[in-house]
Amino acid sequence: MKRVYNFAAGPSMLPLTVLEKVQQELLSYQDSGMSVMELSHRSGLYTEVIRGAEQLLRDLMNIPENYKVLFIQGGASQQFAMIPMNLLVKSGKADFVNTGSWSKKAIKEAKKFGEVRVIATSEDENFTYIPKVDSTMIDPEADYVHITTNNTIEGTAFRDFPDTGNVPLVADMSSNILSEEIDVSKFALIYAGAQKNIGPAGLTVVIIREDLIGHAEETCPTMLDYKTHSESGSLYNTPPTFAIYMAKLVFDWLSDHGGIKAMQKVNEEKARVLYNYIDGSKFFSSPVRKDSRSIMNIPFVIPNRELDTAFVKQAQAKGLETLKGHRSVGGMRASIYNAMPLEGVQALVDFMREFEEEHILKK
């Protein structure tokens, strides 16, 4: 059976053992004679799945008691609207840090609901670094401060999170949730589309401090009110049952591999191997400032852009899939989420070395 190292930014690689388990259980889940896809979301068996997934995530991330974990649909993109609809309701003002394409989309959407201020941005240098944010920049009256902790397209990540004092800190963690240890209590709300580091597309995870729930306006659509999902245990209507089941298997896999602390070590090692090679190369280079580099998404460029296509094609022939950079940045990008093993990154570096030697000799 053919399996490749898939460097896609999302949907992305899933652990092979998880896929095998899904295959094994596909036709008859726990001897029910039914697939998880066919189970009622209100059945006892499924209740164990969804509550089990929640508990595993709570344990993995050390989520405090006063936070709710919600499993909803609509992707991270729907959160761009849901967050202001639920949180931008006191002063009607929010502060945003603009670190790239996803931040911009979040900003654009929030503007439909209130007064949005961009307090820091790295747009001046094509979003190749994370701007400094200090507490004096924050409006103490703001309903929240929004950051994108890992910028999937640009390949940057916050190393320290801004201290926002009493102003709630909201974070889009779509592309780095579960990749490194974080202190959840520093955030008021964390959200992530599942298809990068959690499971299949179709599921969005929201971790929200309880005091922020229940303030949406009367006119807020039921499905877009956090209260609806919080009060029903994410079972107000039919949730994405299969995606939640698979997320649970990924959480199990993470726990079996030593949890986030162990995963972070591997992730740092993977990024180190790739960045070491890039930094030592006379051919490849990184557009991202060293202090702002993501360990999940690593863009790199070659001086002769005409070689991009050849690189991506030859890599693909070697089972190194989807290395083309995002259309807004160009070049290449390797997304190396939790499910990408160190061997995958080593195989990529081996190929890069071959490619470099071949083309440097030709020059």
Ligand X SMILES: *Cc1c(COP(=O)(O)O)cnc(C)c1O
Binding site for ligand X (CB under 6 A): 10, 75-77, 102, 148, 152, 172, 174-175, 193
Distances (CA, A) of 22 to 46, 193, 341: 15, 20, 20
CB of 201 to ligand X, least distance (A): 7
Annotation marks residue 172 as catalytic: yes
CB of 1 to ligand X, least distance (A): 28
Ligand-binding site membership of 17 (annotated): no
CB of 262 to ligand X, least distance (A): 23
Question: What DSSP assignment string belongs to 2-17?
Answer: ---EE--SSS----HH
From 68, 95, 102, 252, active-site residue: 102
Q: How many angstroms separate the CA atoms of 205 and 286, rounded?
A: 31
DSSP state of 218: T
Nearer to ligand X, 86 or 150 (CB): 150
Nearer to ligand X, 46 or 191 (CB): 191
DSSP state of 220: S
Whether the CB-CB separation of 9 and 175 falls below 8 Å is answered with yes
Nearer to ligand X, 178 or 302 (CB): 178
Ligand-binding site membership of 102 (annotated): yes
CB of 354 to ligand X, least distance (A): 30
Q: How many CB atoms lie within 10 A of CB 355?
A: 18
Q: How many CB atoms lie within 10 A of CB 217?
A: 10
Annotation marks residue 183 as catalytic: no
Ligand-binding site membership of 253 (annotated): no
Annotation marks residue 102 as catalytic: yes
5 phi/psi in degrees, rounded to 5: -85, 110
From 68, 196, 248, 270, active-site residue: 196
- Residue ranges at the known binding site: 42, 76-77, 102, 152, 172, 195, 237-238
Active-site positions read: 102, 172, 196
